[in-house]
Homo-oligomer: A and B are copies of this chain.
Amino acid sequence: MAHANPAVGVIDTLLRGVGQVMLQNNPITGLLFLVGIFLNSYEDGLTALLGLVVATVAAYLLGADRTLISNGLFGFNGVLTGIALSVFLRWDWHVAVYIILGAIVSTIVMMGLTKLLISRDMAPLTAPFVLTAWLLLFALYQFGELHPTKLIGPMPVHPGAAIQTALQETAGGGRVAGLTSVNLANALFRGVGEVFLQDNPWTGVVFAIAILVNSRVCFGFALLGSALGGLTALVLGGDGVAIYHGLYGFNAVLTGIALGGRPDGLACPRRFLVLNWWSTVYALIGTIFSAIVFAATAVALSPIGMPALTAPFVLTTWVFLLPTAGFRALQRVSAAEVPTPGLSRAEWVAEVLGVRPRPP
């Protein structure tokens, strides 16, 4: 259908771009993600669309490979850049310019990292978003026309300082604190919602359904990830308010999907693990570790008060996927199918990335 009607093709491409934020190459999933975002915040939905369109159009104008574009691989970093700049900065026309610049740069970083990682059979994941958004956000202290929201601010570290570990919505708030089912459900689903920086349990429910539409395995690992991320923080005595709001969940959700989920014929030459007992244990260890990496990243950035974004997911997933070929207990999924007939996978990769010209 997307081939017959250009308008449908464009919408299909854009929706896949939203779906790819959680590694789901499915336009319905992308559409439901958008519904979830608008459910929580109209403004975030619009900035997500702005980032999505600009990043995708930039890839088109620069002449990136059409197959990569139509699978949404240049859209998802733009979506996240748009939302992040909207969440951490007070709205202003400068922020719109910032989002447009950030979306363009995210597309440039995406192509560069794809080229760099392809020989390792690794994917950039959301690293283009993290790099671009970090640089744009770090700079804000130097620019008077950019105004941070209250989520930004340096937090000096104090060894041995007491931490409020009771699970609750706000410190000292009226709601019941502790391991109640309401609090646990909030932690679980807000963890899914926070992947798009949406601090809303119902948005998280919509996101979970959106994943389920595409893949039951990914759905399972997403929820398992959110649960394990929060649980890791609970066991180690993490801040109860942060856990309630899903901050220990969202990187674990993504790590769970990337390490445990099944790939679905992505054009992108990334490889994932075959699902078996060993790879499941491996994925769950990675998921737990990503929650600790989230805390570590937050501490590393605390002197300048910047957010960890999805850097813990990227770092953990790279660390756990890089060595898999050397571990015989883990099997990797065979190469993704090649969408251009008559080319071997190696030739297709070379052509897509411009590594060498098409043979005569």
Contact = CB atoms under 8 A, between A and B. Distances in A.
A148 B159 contact: yes
Given A115-B325, A157-B303, A157-B304, 13 more contacts: A64-B328, A101-B289, A111-B322, A111-B326, A113-B322, A115-B323, A139-B292, A144-B238, A152-B159, A154-B158, A154-B159, A157-B305, A325-B353
Interface in A36-95: 61-65, 94
Contact of A238 (B142, B152, B233, B319): B142
Interface of A: 61-65, 94, 101, 104-105, 108-116, 120, 131, 134-139, 141-148, 152-154, 156-163, 165, 233, 235-239, 278, 282, 285, 288-289, 292-293, 295-300, 302-305, 319-320, 322-330, 352-355
A104 B285 contact: yes
Contacts of A320: 108
Given A325-B355, A353-B326, A238 B299 contact: no
A283 to B, nearest CB: 12
A328 B23 CA distance: 26
Contacts of A109: 319, 323
Nearest to A164: B144
A63 B282 CA distance: 13
Contact of A111 (B104, B134, B163, B323): B323
A116 B305 CA distance: 33
Contacts of A158: 141, 154
A327 B141 contact: no
Mostly, the A contact residues are helix
Nearest to A135: B296
A326 B110 CA distance: 11
Nearest to A154: B157
A293 to B, nearest CB: 5
A159 B155 CA distance: 11
Among A141, A148, A278, A324, max chain B CB count under 10 A is at A141
A237 B319 contact: no
Nearest to A144: B237
Given A148-B159, A236-B146, A304-B302, A101 B288 contact: yes
Contacts of A111: 322-323, 326-327
A122 to B, nearest CB: 10
Contacts of A114: 323, 326
A316 B181 CA distance: 48
